[in-house]
Amino acid sequence: MSEAEARQIERMKALLEAQKTAFRGERHRPVDKRKADLDRIAQMCRKNADAIADAISRDFGNRARQESIIAEIAFVIQDVAHTRKHLAKWMKTRRVGVPMTLQPGRAEIRREPKGVVGIIAPWNYPFQLAIAPLVAALAAGCRAMIKPSEYTPATAELMKSLLADAFEDDHVTVITGGPAVGEAFTKLKWDHLFYTGSTQIGRLVALAAADNLVPVTLELGGKSPAIVTPGYPQDAAAKSIAWGKFFNAGQTCVAPDYVMAPRGTERDLGEAIIHVAAAQFPDASSDDAYTAIVSDRHYERLTGLLDEARQGGAEILQPEHDAQAAQAARKIPPTVVLNPPAGARIMQEEIFGPLLPVIGYSELDAATGYVGERDHPLALYVYSTDRTKAERVLDETMSGGAGVNTNILHLSVPDLPFGGIGASGQGAYHGEAGFLTFTHERSVFSTGKWHPSRLLAPPYGTMFKTVAKRQMK
């Protein structure tokens, strides 16, 4: 660990204590202040949209400006608007019923902020996946520290500056640094720790948090399938799948990771997907609307997956492109991999890039069985003109979220909880689910000065036997 990293870790610990002290001084931040906090986030986004998009593009080498606007900045602004609209309702104390045996009494659930939370953000949507959890935390009345990815330093430094202008350090702050700082961040005694990233690192985060019994939300990933059922229009499937897969060059946790098509249709569907991609990106190597791979390391990992699949006998489909220019720009054109070997890494690891395996299945049971035998994915997509078949696929599989005749858009519906299950994550956010993630639902039961329960105290006699007999019926 370097001297600079050691200093950053000490600063981080001091900031955590400052935030905890500030939280103790205002445990119940009123709704008007919470709304003002949210307004600062939305204003920050609107005033600095160009700077945010530019920073993200610098980090990627090239990030399609349109993708940054819609998926990062506008997403957060809409999230703020939805949260602000419903916040007062979400904050309300809720009365619940009291059984006759405990009357008279009042039972209620108070929604209280958990305290100081840590947010670890990934590189693929470096602004949205840091700020959207922050929106939920501020709505809940919490204070927060954000640790962005070291792969997106320009975005991290900009967020650090913008949030420092909008909030005091004892309310919201950003901690930058590499793996050593990130590891130390996970070991702090947070009131809640929110992590978005890979399943592999998610396990380590959960283990580190467990030492302090820190509750965690893990937004992970996995191999999200798209199942095309017999009879579904091929062009419609190709347009939808190509858009979802090649948005951000496939560097999206809920992008279709592989496609299952009725056996014998794989080539036609694969060619249709490439045809759509070629129309969307006439030359991926030079088109600014097509995003680069974020780093040399990830580029080499993806080309390694592709080379292994090709050597294993898979057929590779790509639109025409300038291969040398694409490599120089750290871009991989939209790619379909037809029927790769089942044991190939491209079918075992989450791809997180613009490589799309298309494999055939014999019967729908075989497709759902294939999905069910593996770790539950973060998302699952089914394309069918027959609602019964679509429901059958949903009934026979498990996933964090799902789409019918569409993909990736479910995460944009504010009232749908977004999260995984099993290896794809635990916990959820967006909308009220995000508010509740950072909220403690405190149970309170109140009675008068005297309550009939006093009659049930030892020494146990006739009254206890009568009441117990009634409750056992």
- Is 253 marked active-site? yes
Specify the amino acid at residue 222.
G
The C-alpha R_g of the chain, in whole angstroms, comes to 25
Pairing of strands 355-361, 335-338: parallel
Rounded Cα–Cα distance for residues 172 and 118 (Å): 10
Nearest alpha carbon to residue 125 among 82, 181, 70: 70
Rounded Cα–Cα distance for residues 99 and 105 (Å): 9
Active-site entry in 45, 67, 142, 219 = 219
φ, ψ of residue 85 in degrees (nearest 5): -60, -40
Q: What residues contact residue 98 under an 8 Å CB cut-off, 6+ apart?
A: 104, 105, 106, 107, 445
Q: What secondary structure letter does DSSP report for 375?
A: P
Residues in the chain: 473
- Is 271 marked active-site? no
Active-site entry in 45, 253, 350, 432 = 253
Q: What secondary structure letter does DSSP report for 125?
A: S
CA distance to 25, 163, 182, per residue, from 20 (Å): 9, 18, 20
What is the DSSP track for 126-161?
A: TTHHHHHHHHHHHHTT-EEEEE--TT-HHHHHHHHH
Rounded Cα–Cα distance for residues 336 and 269 (Å): 10
Q: What residues contact residue 255 under an 8 Å CB cut-off, 6+ apart?
A: 224, 244, 245, 247, 248, 352, 407, 408
154 CB burial (10 A radius; 0-12, 13-18, 19+): middle
Quick one: residue 432, left, alpha or beta (phi over 0 = left, psi -120 to 50 = alpha)?
Answer: alpha
User: Given CA atoms 302, 351, 120, 201 in this order, what sign does their dihedral have?
Assistant: negative
Report CA 1 to chain centroid distance, whole Å.
30
320 CB burial (10 A radius; 0-12, 13-18, 19+): exposed
CB atoms within 10 A of CB 219: 26
Rounded Cα–Cα distance for residues 150 and 303 (Å): 22
The helix (H) or strand (E) run that includes residue 203 is helix 199-210
Rounded Cα–Cα distance for residues 12 and 55 (Å): 24
Rounded Cα–Cα distance for residues 402 and 225 (Å): 10
φ, ψ of residue 122 in degrees (nearest 5): -90, -175
Residues annotated as catalytic are: 219, 253
